């Protein structure tokens, strides 16, 4: 047993080194902008950059709208599948897994060819339409995570009884979903939401190919042209991902006992 | 959706009951509940992909042809697919092996419990830390002026780049991809290792099995399907990734997603339908990988109930 514990520590230490050295290196690099001493200059430059503020705000707004669209598409569907059409579950589950099979670059390639200005649905004809298409694309990317989170949440509540009780009290479908089901799976929905946020905030491929002024293409642009700012931005991106995952973990403590972790 | 409620109030109460009083109108109305989802999936997932797939089998005049698929087999495109497959496979296999070792260490290694929870939390973060910022982190670490490169040179007089290593290469990209592949493996495989019941180990020990025999004849066969399944998931994960590679290497490393990216931006292949075929080829490879994944997964779930 002693030797196995030694190997366990050795494995863990080597792994920890691989994962912490890049973080330390990035942090160190981001502080090196001023010659000969450590400073937060790179961060000051980044935060003072108008394009940083503009693209970051843009991506935050897009991420929030993505989450709303995702909730709107996923929650009623997952609810209805559980309540009325369980036989469709394999089909719906398969569809929600498709974005893991079809690479994002292929999906957005399809959008560009299908929704051009001469098509019946000319999303790409206007900037607003392209924004909408980007949000839709992100909702598609987040679909596997969102659906799984919501479905896991629904598993822990008695959908049928809640629905019957609400109907006896005279509630319509909109009321049932928004005021009975949604509050009961709110923690699961929020977990999915924060995961979606972490995925969407720095996404590069779709935003870049749709030519939207999002945070991902901005990051890429800075990376190609600057030395120290990219490291500062990488530290920032890591902090955002970390924050999202921490929120998910804190939320999971409030979830009902039988709830599984999302994913 | 409210109109359903007015038509059939309380119909939900007995869905399993025989459809004695059911009217033919009821069936289509049920579908209204899932219609928005299917419409969304059709418009923004299935049709766009289908459009490219059909386009791959047509020429510019709209006639059906296999010519585009044939054109995929020219050396430059084959080379792009080959390097993509190699990077994805290497990062998937190494990521899976290292991830498995870490998972076994934290579950079975007798380490304090904080090690396990810290590793799981960190893995959740790192598996989602991909894209452009990850490339920045590795440039700051192993780039020409990166911390590790500089430390090796100044402290040990070891010039990393003189050995032929380059972060903008096959191994550089693989090493970078491992940063999200290993944690993803840890996140997925840890529950499977938890599923190895203590009793199996005790039963094996009672029958006189050594630790090695227990792993070879009990644990590994049980873990095997989920291990292979996860390798395939990691493969698909790396195969479709573009942002990290693009930010790391620009267009100097010619992997398929970067080639497709250049094609979408500026028709570098001078044939739009060859672009569709390129996309089709990507779907075929990740699709095949996922067929195997689903198959292995259904086999592994048998043991993990």
The more confident residue out of A33 and B281 is: B281
**Exposed/middle/buried for residue B55 (C-beta within 10 Å: 0-12, 13-18, 19+):** buried
User: In 3D, which of A87, A184, A153 has the Cα closest to residue B30?
Assistant: A87
Q: Which residues span the domain enclosing A111? A: 31-254
* Position B304 pLDDT exceeds 80: no
What is the C-alpha separation between A16 and A73, in angstroms, rounded?
A: 40
Predicted pLDDT of residue B280: 94
**In a domain? residue A41:** yes
The more confident residue out of B110 and B132 is: B132
Residues of A in contact with B243 (CB under 8 A): 203-205, 216, 220
Instruction: For residue B145, give the chain A residue with the closest CA.
Output: A29
Q: What is the CATH number of the domain that holds A168?
A: 1.10.3720.10
**In a domain? residue B10:** no
Q: Which residues span the domain enclosing B282? A: 73-301
**In a domain? residue B238:** yes
At A37, the pLDDT band (50, 70, 90 cuts) reads confident
Nearest to B34 among A81, A204, A242 (CB): A81
Overall number of domains in chain B: 1
Q: Is B287 on the interface with A (CB under 8 A)?
A: yes
Instruction: For residue B281, give the chain A residue with the closest CA.
Output: A106
What is the C-alpha separation between A223 and A164, in angstroms, rounded?
A: 56
Provide the token pair at A251.
Answer: 């939320």
**In a domain? residue A21:** no
Asked if A83's CB is within 8 angstroms of B12's CB, the reply is yes
**In a domain? residue A230:** yes
Tokens 């490291």 locate to: A231
Please enumerate in sequence order all residues whose Cβ is within 8 A of that of B21, keeping only pairs 6 or more positions apart, or say none.
none
**In a domain? residue A83:** yes
* Position B13 pLDDT exceeds 60: no
Q: Is A89 on the interface with B (CB under 8 A)?
A: no
- DSSP secondary-structure letter at B64? B
What is the C-alpha separation between A223 and B291, in angstroms, rounded?
A: 37
Highest average pLDDT, of B85-99, B216-230, B255-269, comes from B85-99
**In a domain? residue B19:** no
* Position B18 pLDDT exceeds 60: no
| Residue B75 to chain A, least CA–CA distance (Å) | 22
Q: What percent of chain A has pLDDT over 90?
A: 58
**In a domain? residue A159:** yes
What is the C-alpha separation between A203 and A197, in angstroms, rounded?
A: 10
Average pLDDT of chain B is 84
**In a domain? residue B182:** yes
**Exposed/middle/buried for residue B30 (C-beta within 10 Å: 0-12, 13-18, 19+):** middle
* Torsions phi, psi for B64 (to 5 deg): -75, 140
Q: Is A40 on the interface with B (CB under 8 A)?
A: no
**In a domain? residue A24:** no
Predicted pLDDT of residue A7: 87
Residues of A in contact with B282 (CB under 8 A): 103, 105-106
Q: What is the CATH number of the domain that holds B247?
A: 1.10.3720.10
What is the C-alpha separation between B67 and B56, in angstroms, rounded?
A: 9
User: In 3D, which of B74, A102, B250 has the Cα closest to residue B258?
Assistant: B250
**In a domain? residue B204:** yes
Distances B230 to B94, B185, B222, B236, B296 between C-alpha atoms, Å? 12, 7, 14, 10, 9
Overall number of domains in chain A: 1
Predicted pLDDT of residue B218: 85
Prediction ipTM score: 0.87
The total number of residues shown for chain A amounts to 263
**In a domain? residue A261:** no
**In a domain? residue B254:** yes
Predicted pLDDT of residue B10: 41
Predicted pLDDT of residue A256: 65
What is the C-alpha separation between B95 and B248, in angstroms, rounded?
A: 19
**In a domain? residue B4:** no
Q: Tell me how crowded residue B198 is: count the other CB atoms within 10 A of its CB.
A: 7
Dihedral, CA of residue A191, residue A193, residue A199 and residue A205, to nearest 10: 160
Residues of A in contact with B100 (CB under 8 A): none
The total number of residues shown for chain B amounts to 305
Residues of A in contact with B277 (CB under 8 A): none
**In a domain? residue B240:** yes
Predicted pLDDT of residue A249: 86
Planar angle of CA B66, A105, A203, nearest 5 degrees: 175
Planar angle of CA B233, A151, A110, nearest 5 degrees: 55
* Torsions phi, psi for B241 (to 5 deg): -70, 140
Q: Is A77 on the interface with B (CB under 8 A)?
A: yes
What is the C-alpha separation between B214 and B211, in angstroms, rounded?
A: 5
What is the C-alpha separation between B138 and B135, in angstroms, rounded?
A: 5
Chains A, B: CB contacts under 8 A, how many?
274
**In a domain? residue A14:** no
Summarize pLDDT for A40-87 with one digit per residue, the tens: 989 999 999 999 999 999 999 999 999 999 999 999 999 999 988 888
């Amino acid at each position: 047993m002693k030797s196995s514990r030694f190997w366990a520590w050795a494995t863990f230490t080597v792994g920890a080194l691989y994962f912490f050295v890049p973080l330390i290196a990035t942090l160190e690099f981001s502080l090196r902008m001023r010659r000969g001493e450590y400073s937060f200059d790179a961060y000051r430059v980044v935060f003072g950059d108008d394009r940083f503020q503009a693209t970051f705000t843009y991506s935050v707004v897009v991420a929030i709208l993505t989450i709303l669209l995702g909730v709107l598409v996923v929650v009623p569907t997952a609810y209805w599948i559980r309540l009325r059409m369980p036989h469709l579950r394999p089909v719906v589950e398969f569809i929600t897994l498709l974005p893991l099979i079809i690479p994002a670059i292929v999906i957005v390639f399809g959008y560009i060819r299908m929704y051009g200005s001469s098509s019946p649905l000319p999303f790409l004809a206007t900037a607003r339409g392209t924004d909408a298409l980007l949000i839709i694309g992100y909702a598609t990317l987040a679909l596997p995570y969102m659906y799984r989170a919501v479905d896991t949440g629904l598993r822990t509540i008695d959908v049928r009884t809640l629905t019957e009780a609400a109907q006896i009290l005279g509630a319509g479908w909109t009321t049932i979903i928004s005021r009975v089901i949604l509050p009961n799976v709110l923690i699961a929905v929020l977990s999915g939401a924060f995961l979606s946020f972490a995925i969407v905030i720095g996404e590069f491929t779709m935003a870049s190919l749709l030519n939207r002024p999002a945070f991902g293409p901005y990051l890429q642009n800075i990376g190609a042209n600057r030395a120290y700012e990219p490291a500062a931005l990488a530290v920032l991106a890591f902090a955002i991902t970390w924050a999202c995952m921490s929120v998910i973990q804190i939320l999971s403590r409030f979830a009902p006992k039988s709830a599984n972790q999302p994913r | 959706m409210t109109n359903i409620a007015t038509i059939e109030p309380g119909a939900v109460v007995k869905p399993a009951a025989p459809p004695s009083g059911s009217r033919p109108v009821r069936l289509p109305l049920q579908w209204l509940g899932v219609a928005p989802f299917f419409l969304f999936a059709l418009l923004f997932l299935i049709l766009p992909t289908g459009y490219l797939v059909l386009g791959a089998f047509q020429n510019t005049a709209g006639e059906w042809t296999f010519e585009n698929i044939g054109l995929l087999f020219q050396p430059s495109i084959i080379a792009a697919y080959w390097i993509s497959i190699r990077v994805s496979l290497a990062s998937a296999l190494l990521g899976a092996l290292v991830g498995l070792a870490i998972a076994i260490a934290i579950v079975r290694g007798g380490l304090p419990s904080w090690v396990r929870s810290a590793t799981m939390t960190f893995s959740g973060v790192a598996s989602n830390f991909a894209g452009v910022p990850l490339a920045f982190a590795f440039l700051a670490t192993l780039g020409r002026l990166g911390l590790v490169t500089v430390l090796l040179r100044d402290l040990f007089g070891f010039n990393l780049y003189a050995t032929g290593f380059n972060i903008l290469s096959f191994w550089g990209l693989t090493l970078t991809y491992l940063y999200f592949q290993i944690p993803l493996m840890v996140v997925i495989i840890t529950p499977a290792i938890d599923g190895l019941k203590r009793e199996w180990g005790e039963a094996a020990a009672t029958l006189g099995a050594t630790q090695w025999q227990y792993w070879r004849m009990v644990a590994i066969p049980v873990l095997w399907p989920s291990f292979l399944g996860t390798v395939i998931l990691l493969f698909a994960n790396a195969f479709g990734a573009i942002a990290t590679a693009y930010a790391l290497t620009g267009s100097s490393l010619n992997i398929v997603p970067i080639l497709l990216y250049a094609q979408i931006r500026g028709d570098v292949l001078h044939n739009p339908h060859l672009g569709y075929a390129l996309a089709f080829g990507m779907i075929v490879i990740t699709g095949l990988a996922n067929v195997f994944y689903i198959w292995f997964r259904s086999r592994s779930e048998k043991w993990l109930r």
